[in-house]
């Protein structure tokens, strides 16, 4: 390991990790998973535990550092960025809100890495000592390399008039089955297959409330719960990395090309410059907005306080905007890149495909604006879904 703090060691390893992710992106897309050997390299570098404190075996990074690192990995390969972001968020939530027994069990492995989904198609039998679960969860990103897997469970309310109980249930991956159902238009390398439980018993200590979580650790990491804003950061970082790559690749596609009639270099064309520079400005604004919102939350957490309602709304809106506008930036870059961009094996095609997925994610889709808007305007009380 490089000299310095754990987070500095990851920064030092980042160029090599990003370089390998970039070189192997096509391989990951074809196999519909991040290769196991590369998952191991990421885990050894701490790329799945950026937000976990050093005393728990993590790197002790801030929210802004986390977003910046995930952007860099996503710029190299969007699937790698999304899988790492998702793994970090899972680790952060386990540390922040799981029972010590589960947290200790999970983090005991140097390569600890969890993958879960909030889209259950399961049957649950509630028992005195835990849950018996059969069924599956779709879209468990990165599950092929995870050490623990599972997903959201909805249980009946404890009393009339109370809401259902929402929690996450996890088990070691050996107790589950991975059904390789993931065959998307983009982010194919994320390996977001189904996780299936066949009558798996989950003791209560391997469950914890989410998204209405209750922190069990000190701040600042306690700030990760409650709310779904934390999940949305991963999508934002992925799309900002994608957008950055698309803008750079568009210029690479155009460099050396000339208009067939005027012989003017295409990169010098006024319409091209207007389109690319407008996209650059949008990328900069989205990145700055996300970083400002996360810095605000983290500053509050460093003072030992939970994120305010306004901070959670701002972080969620900044993340959703980064995803939605990031997809538009990729499209704008693709549109000015010329006919060579349509090659299926080309980089621009993969970037366009990759940018088409997280706009539908439950934490970053356009419906998220309806949720945050209703809370912001006082129509609804602050929801743990924000």
Task: For Cα atoms 32, 38, 44, give the angle at the middle one, nearest 5 degrees.
Answer: 140
For residue 90, pLDDT beyond 70: yes
CB 132, CB 199: distance < 8 Å: yes
Residue 216 lies inside a defined structural domain of this protein = no
- Residue-wise pLDDT for 113-168, tens only, equals 999 999 999 999 999 999 999 999 999 999 999 999 999 999 999 888 888 999 99
Residue 246 lies inside a defined structural domain of this protein = yes
Are residues 139 and 95 both part of a single domain?
Answer: no
CATH number of the domain residue 45 falls in:
1.10.540.10
- Residue-wise pLDDT for 160-199, tens only, equals 888 899 999 999 999 999 999 999 999 999 999 999 999 9
Residue 80 lies inside a defined structural domain of this protein = yes
Q: What is the pLDDT of residue 14?
A: 98
CATH number of the domain residue 141 falls in:
2.40.110.10
Q: Which domain holds residue 138?
A: 114-209
Residue 220 lies inside a defined structural domain of this protein = no
For residue 2, pLDDT beyond 60: no
Are residues 236 and 287 both part of a single domain?
Answer: yes
Are residues 363 and 243 both part of a single domain?
Answer: yes
- Residue-wise pLDDT for 43-73, tens only, equals 999 999 999 999 999 999 999 999 999 999 9
Q: What is the pLDDT of residue 383?
A: 75
Residue 382 lies inside a defined structural domain of this protein = no
Are residues 56 and 170 both part of a single domain?
Answer: no
Residue 200 lies inside a defined structural domain of this protein = yes
Are residues 15 and 85 both part of a single domain?
Answer: yes
Q: 227 — phi, psi (to 5°)?
A: 110, 160
Are residues 254 and 205 both part of a single domain?
Answer: no
Are residues 249 and 363 both part of a single domain?
Answer: yes
Q: What is the pLDDT of residue 49?
A: 97
Are residues 43 and 161 both part of a single domain?
Answer: no
Are residues 273 and 313 both part of a single domain?
Answer: yes
The number of folded domains in the chain is: 3
Are residues 175 and 243 both part of a single domain?
Answer: no
Are residues 318 and 339 both part of a single domain?
Answer: yes
Which single residue is written with the structure tokens 């140097």? 110
Residue 150: enclosing H or E segment and its boundaries?
strand 148-155
Residue 32 lies inside a defined structural domain of this protein = yes
Distance separating alpha carbons of residues 187 and 111, to the nearest angstrom: 23
> Between the CA of residue 315 and those of 62, 89, 118, 224, 286, what are the distances in Å?
14, 15, 20, 12, 12
Residue 222 lies inside a defined structural domain of this protein = no
For residue 382, pLDDT beyond 80: no
Q: Look at residues 177, 209, 241 and tell me which one is the last residue of a structural domain.
A: 209
Distance separating alpha carbons of residues 133 and 125, to the nearest angstrom: 6
Are residues 101 and 122 both part of a single domain?
Answer: no
């Amino acid at each position: 390991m490089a000299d310095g703090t754990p987070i500095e060691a990851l920064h030092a390893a980042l160029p090599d990790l990003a370089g390998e992710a970039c070189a192997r992106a096509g391989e990951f897309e074809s196999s519909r998973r991040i290769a196991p050997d590369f998952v191991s390299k990421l885990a050894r570098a701490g790329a799945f535990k950026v937000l976990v404190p050093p005393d728990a075996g993590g790197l002790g990074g801030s929210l802004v550092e986390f977003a910046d690192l995930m952007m860099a990995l996503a710029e190299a390969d969007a699937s790698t960025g999304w899988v790492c972001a998702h793994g970090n968020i899972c680790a952060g939530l386990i540390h922040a809100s799981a029972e010590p027994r589960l947290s200790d069990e999970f983090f005991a492995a140097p390569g600890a890495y969890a993958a879960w989904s909030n889209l259950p198609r399961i049957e649950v039998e509630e028992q005195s000592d835990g849950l018996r679960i059969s069924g599956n969860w779709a879209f468990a990103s990165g599950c092929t390399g995870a050490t623990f897997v599972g997903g959201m469970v909805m249980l009946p309310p404890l009393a009339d008039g109370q809401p259902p109980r929402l929690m996450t249930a996890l088990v070691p991956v050996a107790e589950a089955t991975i059904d390789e159902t993931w065959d998307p238009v983009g982010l194919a390398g994320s390996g977001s297959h189904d996780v299936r439980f066949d009558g798996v018993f989950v003791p209560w200590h391997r469950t914890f409330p989410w998204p209405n979580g209750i922190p069990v650790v000190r701040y600042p990491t306690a700030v990760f719960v409650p709310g779904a804003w934390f999940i949305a950061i991963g999508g934002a970082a992925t799309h900002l990395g994608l957008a950055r790559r698309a803008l750079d690749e568009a210029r690479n596609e155009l460099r050396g090309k000339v208009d067939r009639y005027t012989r003017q270099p295409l990169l010098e064309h006024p319409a091209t410059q207007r389109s690319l520079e407008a996209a650059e400005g949008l990328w900069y604004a989205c990145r700055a907005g996300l970083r400002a919102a996360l810095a605000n939350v983290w500053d509050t957490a460093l003072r030992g306080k939970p994120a305010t309602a306004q901070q959670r709304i701002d972080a969620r809106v900044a993340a959703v905007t980064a995803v939605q506008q990031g997809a538009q930036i990729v499209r704008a870059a693709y549109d000015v890149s010329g006919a060579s961009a349509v090659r299926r094996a080309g980089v621009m095609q993969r970037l366009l495909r990759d940018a088409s997925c997280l706009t539908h994610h439950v934490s970053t889709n356009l419906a998220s604006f309806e949720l945050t808007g209703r809370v912001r305007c006082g129509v609804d009380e602050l929801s743990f879904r924000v």
